[in-house]
Structure 1
Amino acid sequence: MCLGWLVVHWNRVCDGCRPWVRRYPEVGVCPRCRHEAHLNTDGLCKPCLMAIRAEDDAEWALGLAEARPRPVQLIVGGMYGDRSADARPLRRPTKTGLKVGQGWWIKLRKQRAAPAGPPVLQEQVCNQLALFTVPRVLTDATVSAIVGRPVAGWEECRRVIGVMAAEHGLSVGWQRAIAEMVRLALAVREAEGALRLPEPMLRDLPSNGDAVRLVLLRAGLLDQAPKPMRFSTTNQPTTTYINAPAPLPPSEARSCRDCDAWMASGKRGSRCNPCRHWRELHPAGRCVRCLRGELPLRDGRCRTCRLYRHLDDSDRAAVRATQLVIDLPHGVPGQAQLIPVAEPAPAKDEDEAVSALHAARGQEALFGMRRDWSPVMARLRRRSYRDLPLTSAARALTEELDRLRRGRQDPAYRKDIRTLTILVYWLGAETLFQERDVHDLALLDPNLGAKRVCQFLAARGLLTEDPELHRDADQVWVKATIGKLPPTVADEVRLWVKVLRGQGRREHEARGYDGIRRYLFALEPVLSTWTRSGLTSLRQITSDHATTAVDDLTGSARRQLAISLRSLFKALRQERVVFRDPTRTLPVGDLKGIPKSVPSDLLATLLDRASTPLGRLVIALTAVHALPGHEIPTLLTCDLNLAHGTLEARRGLLRHTLYIEEFTHTLAAEWLTYRHRRWPASTNPHLLVSQRTALDPDHPPVSMTMLHRHLPKGFTLDGLRQDRILNEALETGDPLKLMRLFGITEKTAMHYVSVAHPEKTSKLPR
């Protein structure tokens, strides 16, 4: 109805419009606003009747033919006690018929007698709330436009001006200047529809805001701010009527007029301190790089472009950009010397010059961007890293790495020295190096290394790590492989991965990404074949599809694919993505297998064929104590107690204690002695270390490949472990003893006993 924004209850019509509808049921188009609404006897809608009386719209009150349509005023929140339905119509009955009051004709003559032109500071309805506050632009033309206009409150303010002039002995000229600003402030008050002028609006006055504030305050026409405000641009106004001035408001953040550096709020002036000092030393002109004029120049360049002279020499681009600079305190007393007074001697060769501008200590990058090292390597390809010019800080950093790597007997230390030298030559020694930059540089040349350089820089707080480089490799592979699938299938496979990670509808132990990768590696060819054949979702897969996928395979490949398919569709059915599991009848095959023993003649010479202390200890842990191969690299030195003859194997939250005999005790002691003599500075907590892991700050365990390399040819860790458990099962036949001795489960122990003594578990009658 009235198009007002307010809260209505149980109805789409507000409380003010409901009685209007009942009283004026006729519906038509209002001639003033051109909206369809309920019209009164004047042919007007409710909002237009209210607007005519509030705005003194005489043309529409009299119903003149030349009256133009008017916009509808926005009403927010409705009106309390809205009795517009009882309002008298504009045309009321008289002796000669329906007529409009004579007051509207008087208002029309006054409105038409007013000079034409845009209205200036029109008086608004009192106590009307404004939706948006826009700063006004008040000039001398505004003062001239309101000359002679009667403004409410002027008489009180004129008396206050006279009293202030008498108290402080102020001149007539001061009174006239203040009177103009006071009248302007009172006109703004009427234009805002306020009883008292808000104090922040005095900022829009052209001048004398502090004096106008005192006048309005004495006259009771000012709505004071919570804290006294200042409108003078000077630090201390020299007036007799302001004894304790309020502090100046802090200036806003802005850019320097010369170098465009962002200055912090609170600073005065249009230029930063370095630019003011630079302007005093050099003549003005047009910069040859940024092409800006009226700037102080040295050798044809302004202060900002002077910093880029070395970068421009190394990369001769047509477009010259300038980095965003934030003007912050220098941190030390005195003038910040950003540009040296004495220029360095020019280099004989372009390659001997500094390649780029080195970042100062503490300089942070606003926007991270991946660096392309190909042009740098092409430039340095014909030069030795020993000939690169380095600063004193950069040379000290490379010498420290040289001493550290050479003392650790690392044959690949020259790669690290070469990599660090290129980094500090190009970027400087006081910057924060990005880990991604180090790895990208090392990828361009096989004679460069990244890992140890990153560890060296991180230990000294000079490296910004890249989280992408520290993600699990299996997780990255799984994510990349799923991303190659169609969107619908990819979402379903991601849900399967989520279930395997223990985040599905049913809680269970999370599986590692290495196991998920093995499953997905077997599933990837099948999923690609299904999607190429036109299938868009795994909901379309039937048992025939699953059977056809495994029919062409044999052996372990068939068993692995069958297990992966059953895991996939079991998870999707659990998450209610598929209604039936198409792989529920898919045969998997025998997963147990029969453990095999190692021939006795080979076991007799096994220890003699192991050439290293590490290999002999691994053989003892596997062939004597049947320790699983994947647990051997995770053994910790602190878990080996030679005094008590025990070794603890950590299995999650559980612990399995090995009681080592004299043979294993001797081999463990020999290994510890060898490790201490070869790597005395090693802090790796793992019991077994190698040349690569002993001095690695990340303390990684040894790899399974390294363990297999130390075994004699023809032997495996799993084969030695199975032979040991099977031999114990042949001797005792007691599954409980196998469980206590080797820490295996009940199912595994019964499996070995059934293989060693099939007559004890046979279902045939005895």
Structure 2
Amino acid sequence: MALRAEADGEWLANPSLARSRQLSLIVSGPGMPQRLAAAQRLRKPSLRKASQTRDRAKWCQPRREPTERDDPRICPPAPPGQLTLFSPRRDLRLAMARRILHRLPEGYDKALPLVHAYAAERRYSRPWKSQCQMMIQLALAVRDADGRDLVAVESLEDLQYYSRQVREILQHAGLLDVSPAHARPLAGSAPARRLTPVGRSCADCLTWFPAATAVYCRGCLKWRRTKIHIVGACGRCGRGPLPLSDDGHSRCRACTAHVAAFGERHDGEATIQLWLGVLPRGAAQPNHQAPEEISSAPHDTRSISEHLVDPDQVELFPVRRDWSAVAHWPVEQMPGLTPAAQLLADELAARAREQSWSTYPARKAIHTLSTVLGWTGADVPVHESDIVALMTADSARYSARRACQFLESRGLLVPDPELRRDVHEQAITAMLERLPQGFATELAVWVEVERGHGHRSRRRKRSFCSIRRYLSEIMPVLREWAERVESLKQITTDDVKAAIAARKGNAARSIHIELRNVFRALRHERVIFRDPTRGLTFPAISTVPAVVGSDRLRGLIDHTDGAFARLVIALVAVHALPTCDLRRLLLDDLDLARGRLIVRRPGRVHTVWLDTLTHQLAGQWLAERHRRWPASTNPHLLINQQTAFHTQHPPIGVSMPQRVFATHGLAVGQVRQDRILDEAHHSADPLHLMRLFGISDSTAMRYVTAAHPERTSALPR
């Protein structure tokens, strides 16, 4: 038997020379490789259908020539010296990286060894290493497409995978632009992803400006908020409907800026100049007026309202006023102020000047107070609901917070209990309203128990913030159950096991703890007959504190602007204070003469002895605090523009310290854990950690175990 192939040129040229065998087998396609010709064994007949078997063996299939993967449509490199106007948002997916797999951008050879070292150190798999290499290759291609020398930090947010790891590797390789002017938080470093500003054209003046979602530039927003009498087509360019100036020319803001920049001789033209960023200074306001000093309403001759509230009139029943009918009236049509009301408006203007309010918010607060007092008078207290309703009717002209705080300080405000409800309590009520009636009624009993108002159970009173966090985590489970049952009485142990099994790690443990909390409270209050979580156990999960690279912490204070941010970084990175302690610090607890700071925690007090750097930064912040808000009565050490003159003296928000570290791609918890773990490496004494950082004994032992696992009987997982 002779085995021949159709692609055998020698046999095709002279077949007669090879017909010495009685039987010849002609194989279509390329010939069998010589090294497999003798070793290839015939397979047994298969019982599968013909459609399920291959027509040819692998060795006789046509060979595919390797194709070059460098799609010129994917991030084409910019010509040398080309400057980009703005960097657009991109959707950088793994499929795009495969299309430029054979493109080797400049600097890729420097980053490749770091990828192998990064994966080996963390024991990442081979697929992770391959995908990370493609993401780095894609990031370098974007750099070349933008005409940059280094990779921009904001471009890493567009990567589909591993944006944080790619940032660390590129920073080690010296291929990342880490200047403070371009530093932005990554999507994974903050609780909520922020949109990156891109180039946009204003809908009114056509000016190009950077924004994420805004439609109008800042100047056009001010133009729209200003008192404008005409909305229509521009008398110069014909565009419209647009808000026009009331100076007799009826021009839009773009035409007003064009004429202000190039003179009145261009008034007859219909063209406008394309501006980038901001318009000329002459077009800041419709009437080209310079900012005036903060003052109250003028002492004019407007008539006093005939419907002022009489203090001797007995109220039959409360009625809420509807301010939507008069909220849009111009100032000339508003009623005048009585002498007492004018005195209050003058006092509010004096407070605004004393506390250095910005001009626009101050004028809104004065206008709000003058409008309310013009209709109701100053002889009786003003209802808080009236001021809020006026602000709701036209938020561009009125504001409620500063006016209410001023009247409350003077004893002339009637608080509205519904408006004074805790924000977390309002969120809990809104979540319960989205559940079926049976679930909502039973969970309302659980909320009362957690607040310490249970009839049978004696529990520690929890804050609405903790209850809201618990309820938010179990809401997905409650929605799944609400599709099948109408009450928590119908939930069985199998339902709870299924809810826990659908999650892993800390998420599963949290669901187990929170559901056990809910059902135990309802069982004690005799709302349900049996506890479906009884007997269910979940093993504890011990996590090892993570280490932050020293290169990410080096120069952190030097690259931060502002005395507030530098002090926050020092208190967290040196003294390991959490966010809750930073918000509760009091001004009286800082003693620079003795070099100490008192940290008040629930049930105990921790003393922080300041080092030289923190002492210097604390002094700089006190000077900055006194310079910006010299008349502030807020007792907290850390304040901002919103809390400096707030009558209730609240602390700063949770997001302020977090934003300080998010700018550098870090988190408060990461830096705090790294500081305690570093101290545990130098001292294995848990008592030293407890005295230095004010932590509990169990927390101190956890850090000692992580730093010195060889000294423990059980190695951490």
2:340 maps to 1:389: no
Aligned to 2:374: 425
Shift of 1:419: 0.8
Q: 1:441 to 1:591 in 2, by over 3 A?
A: farther
Instruction: Name which of 321, 335, 355 aligns with 1:408.
Output: 355
SS in 2 for 1:658: strand
For the residue of structure 1 that corresponds to 2:605, the secondary structure is strand
- Give CA-to-partner distance per residue, 1:124-172, whole Å, 9 cap, x none: xxxxxxxxxxxxxxxxxxxxxxxxxxxxxxxxxxxxxxxxxxxxxxxxx
Question: What is the percentage of aligned positions where both structures have the same residue?
Answer: 45
What CA distance in whole angstroms lies between the structure 1 residues aligned with 2:678 and 2:314?
A: 66
Which range moves more in the overlay, 387-396 or 514-523? Answer: 387-396
Alpha-carbon separation, structure 2, partners of 1:591 and 1:678 = 47
Q: Report the TM-score, using the length of structure 2 for normalisation.
A: 0.54
CA distance in 1, matches of 2:490, 2:460: 30
Equivalent residues in 2 for 1:562-577 (5 A)?
Answer: 562-577=512-527
Structure 1 residue 563: Cα displacement: 3.1
- Equivalent residues in 2 for 1:115-194 (5 A)? none
Structure 1 residue 360 and structure 2 residue 310: aligned?
yes
Superposed, which structure 2 residues align to 1:606-685 within 5 Å? Answer: 606-685=556-635
State the partner residue of 2:464. 513
1:705 maps to: 655
Q: Report the alpha carbon displacement of residue 397 of structure 1 after superposing the two structures with TM.
A: 2.0
Find the counterpart in structure 2 of residue 442 from structure 1.
391
After superposing on structure 2, the runs of 4+ consecutive aligned residues of structure 1 that deviate more than 6 Å are none
Find the partner of 1:718 among 669, 680, 701. 669
Q: Is contact 1:385-1:418 (8 Å) kept?
A: no
Tell me, in whole angstroms, the C-alpha distance in 2 between the residues paired with 1:605 and 1:584: 53
Q: Secondary structure at the match of 2:418?
A: helix
Q: Deviations over 1:318-342 (max 9, x none)?
A: xxxxxxxxxxxxxxxxxxxxxxxxx
Encode CA deviations 1:276-301: one digit per residue, 9 max, x unaligned: xxxxxxxxxxxxxxxxxxxxxxxxxx
**Structure 1 residues 393 and 501: CA distance shift in structure 2, 3 A:** closer
**Which residue of the partner structure matches residue 491 of structure 1?**
441
Tell me if the contact between 2:309 and 2:377 (Cα under 8 Å) persists in the aligned partners: yes
Partner of residue 478 from structure 1, selected from 421, 425, 428: 428
In the TM superposition, what whole-angstrom CA distance separates every residue of 1:495-514 from its partner, at most 9, and x where no partner exists?
Answer: 32233233443434222111
Q: In structure 2, which of residues 509, 523, 548 is the aligned counterpart of residue 598 of structure 1?
A: 548
Higher relative contact order (CA 8 A, sep 6+): 2
1:625 Cα deviation from its structure 2 partner: 0.9
The one-letter code sitting in structure 1 at the alignment partner of 2:544 is I
2:499 aligns with one of 538, 549, 552: 549
Shift of 1:361: 3.8
Counterpart residue type for residue 418 of structure 1: H
Give the aligned partner of residue 640 of structure 2: 690
Structure 2 residue ranges without an equivalent (≥5): 1-300
Query: What RMSD in Å do the two structures reach over aligned CA positions?
Result: 2.5
Whole-Å separation in 2 of the counterparts to 1:700 and 1:525: 33
Q: Which runs of 5+ in 1 are unaligned?
A: 1-350
CA shift digits 1:222-259 (9 cap, x unpaired): xxxxxxxxxxxxxxxxxxxxxxxxxxxxxxxxxxxxxx
Distance in 1 of aligned mates of 2:364 and 2:349 = 11
Residue in structure 1 matched with residue 475 of structure 2 by the alignment: 524
Aligned with 1:377: secondary structure? coil
Q: Which amino acid aligns with 2:660?
A: H
2 CA distance for matches of 1:556 and 1:549?
13
Q: Deviation at 1:619? A: 1.1
**Residues 375, 759 of structure 1: CA spacing in aligned structure 2 closer, same or farther, 3 A cutoff?**
same
Counterpart of 2:319 in structure 1 is 369
**Does the 8 Å CA contact 1:371/1:437 hold for their aligned counterparts?**
yes
Q: What per-residue deviation string (whole Å, max 9, x for no partner) do you get for residues 333-381 of structure 1? A: xxxxxxxxxxxxxxxxxx9765551023454523111111111225x1x
Secondary structure of the corresponding residue to residue 714 of structure 1: coil
Q: Tell me the number of residue pairs that the alignment of Structure 1 and Structure 2 aligns.
A: 410
SS class of match (1:647): strand
Q: Partners of 2:550 and 2:452 in 1: how far apart? A: 45
For the pair shown, the structure with the greater C-alpha radius of gyration is 1
In 2, are the aligned partners of 1:614 and 1:710 still within 8 Å (CA)? no
1:74 is matched with none
The 1:556/1:374 distance shift into structure 2, 3 A limit, reads: farther
- Structure 2 partner of 1:539: 489
Q: Structure 1 364/717 Cα, relative in aligned 2: closer, same or farther at 3 Å? A: farther
Q: What CA distance in whole angstroms lies between the structure 2 residues aligned with 1:705 and 1:611?
A: 17
Deviation at residue 429 of structure 1 after TM alignment: 2.4
SS across alignment from 1:549:
helix
Q: CA deviation at 1:470?
A: 1.7
Q: Secondary structure at the match of 1:467?
A: coil
User: What displacement does 1:748 show?
Assistant: 0.9
Contact kept? 1:646, 1:659, Cα under 8 Å: yes
Deviations 1:387-414 (A, max 9, x none): 7533333222222212211332212111
